[in-house]
Structure formats: structure tokens, C-alpha cells
Amino acid sequence: MELETSLRQGLEWFLGTPLRILLISILALLVQRISSRAITRTLSKVAEADFIPGEKSSVSRQRERARTAASVLNSSSKAIIGLVAGAMILGELGVDLGPLVASAGVVGFAVGLGAQSIVRDLLSGIIMLLEDQYGVGDNVEVLEVKGKVESVGLRVTTIRDGKGTLWYLRNGEILKVGNSSQRSRS
């Protein structure tokens, strides 16, 4: 009789909080996988679309921009889904989320003040990619550096000058760009 009672209590316990936590985790992984596939499929269609018909269309540059955007969106969706699932799991464990959210707001504000230059670099990188100011392989003049773009990231652009020096330029510091590779584009 006592074995049945402890078995029933164990089953009730398992069907409570642990099962809900397991379901939240599985659902979060499923939503993350679905959103990742949707983002990848959508942006791969954008990468392959010919928005600028004719000889001067730069499909490779469009692919690179779509790949960068997909990476940013996938990382953002993972972070948001992880935060929501983590908060739900903490709620299931009985943690009071009010003080946690309030302290996260204060910490976020402090980190935001300290990370202004990183945020500026990222936003400048996103805008630069959207506006297609320059891309890998373009001959550019940025700040005092004149050379060929080797890589374009959201935070940093690398340019190799005529002497072979590789320059790392933060996108937030780039205020003026001369792109000699875009002269003939219309």
C-alpha cells in the first residue's frame, strides 16, 4: 500500500514541473528549428532573385548580403527563443521573475552605455550592407586606407592596401567611402 502511494506521488511529481519543463524545452527547440529554416529559405530565395536585370547585376554580392542577414536573423531568433524558454522554465521552478526582470533592465542599461561603440558598429554594418556601399573585392578608399575589400562583417571591414597590409576598420568609424569599383554601375 505504501509502495503504491509513493509510486503515485512520484508519478504526480513527474507529470508536474519536470514534464512541463521538458515540454517547454522541446517546444523551444522546435520553434527555433522552424524559424531557422524559414529564415534560411526566405533569404536564399532573396539571394537568388534577380532584382536588377541585365549585365550589371551582382548576384554574388546579393548572395553575400543575404547570407549575412540570415546569420544575424538566426542568431537573434535563437537568443529571443532562448530567453523566453529560460524565463518560462524559471517560472515553472517557482522563481519570482519580477526582481529578475527589474535587475536585468538595470544591467542591460549599464551594458548598453558601455557598449555604445559596438552597437554603433553593428548598426553601421547593417546599414552599409543594406545600402550596398561596398562588398568583397571592391577597390575602395576609406579613411586613409586605399585598397581591396577582403571581408565585410557587421562590426568590422577588412581592407588590404597596395603594400599588403591588412587593415581592420570598425564600421561605426567609417564616415566616408570612395568605391572605384562602382563607377560604371547605374
Q: What's the pLDDT tens digit per position in 65-83?
A: 777 778 778 888 999 999 9
| pLDDT score recorded for residue 186 | 46
pTM of the model: 0.58
Q: Where in the chain is the domain with CATH 2.30.30.60?
A: 130-182
Q: What percentage of the chain reaches a pLDDT higher than 90?
A: 28
The CATH number corresponding to 130-182 among 2.40.30.30, 2.30.30.60, 3.40.50.10890, 3.30.420.40 equals: 2.30.30.60
Mean pLDDT of the chain: 83
Residue from 171, 173, 117 nearest 149 by CA:
171
- What CA–CA distance (Å, rounded) separates 55 from 115? 43
| pLDDT score recorded for residue 64 | 73
Residue in this structure with the C-alpha cell 546579393, named with its chain if needed = 62
Which of residues 50 and 27 earns the better pLDDT score?
A: 27
| pLDDT score recorded for residue 78 | 93
Most confident among 49-58, 160-169, 175-184 (mean pLDDT):
160-169
Looking at residues 84-108, what average pLDDT do you find? 86
| pLDDT score recorded for residue 183 | 64
173 near 156, Cβ under 8 Å?
A: no
